[in-house]
Structure 1
Amino acid sequence: MSKFDEVMAQVNALEADFKKFYDQGNKAAGTRVRNGMNNLKKMAQDIRNEVTEIKNSKK
């Protein structure tokens, strides 16, 4: 379950920057949000690959 915890930690870390960007219009926070979302995308792809590998190895 550590992969899930890593994803949740990343999402929680972005919460303040989301608020700063959307509520206060802070452009630097928007850059941090974009970078964080890119990291989430990479994490999601790694998890997808791992799940597929585990699923296929059990056949």
Structure 2
Amino acid sequence: MGTDDKIDAKADQVKGKVKEGVGDATGDRELQGEGKVDQAKGHLKEAAEKVKDAFKKD
């Protein structure tokens, strides 16, 4: 996994976790949802990079 791609994926996950936490604390359901979407996006990016890496090794 490329370092920049890995950092980008983790940044999305962290950003999502923060948004979700703030949404929980303030009762903002929309912000909670955005946080969950950002986390999912980060996990998908990470998974895609792992698949790419698996094919590069073969």
Q: TM-score, normalised by structure 1?
A: 0.70
Q: Percent identity?
A: 5
- Give the whole-Å Cα distance in 1 for the aligned partners of 2:51 and 2:10: 19
Larger radius of gyration: 1
Aligned to 1:33: 35
Whose RCO is larger (CA < 8 A, sep 6+)? Answer: 2
Aligned to 2:5: 3
Structure 2 residues not aligned, in runs of 5+: none
Aligned to 1:51: 53
Aligned to 1:13: 15
- Give the whole-Å Cα distance in 1 for the aligned partners of 2:7 and 2:39: 16
Equivalent AA in structure 2 for residue 29 of structure 1: L
Q: Which runs of 4+ in 1 moved over 2 A?
A: 11-16
The verdict on how the C-alpha distance between 1:24 and 1:32 changes in structure 2, with shifts beyond 3 A counting, is: same
Q: TM-score, normalised by structure 2?
A: 0.70
Number of paired residues?
Answer: 56
Structure 1 residues not aligned, in runs of 5+: none
RMSD: 1.8
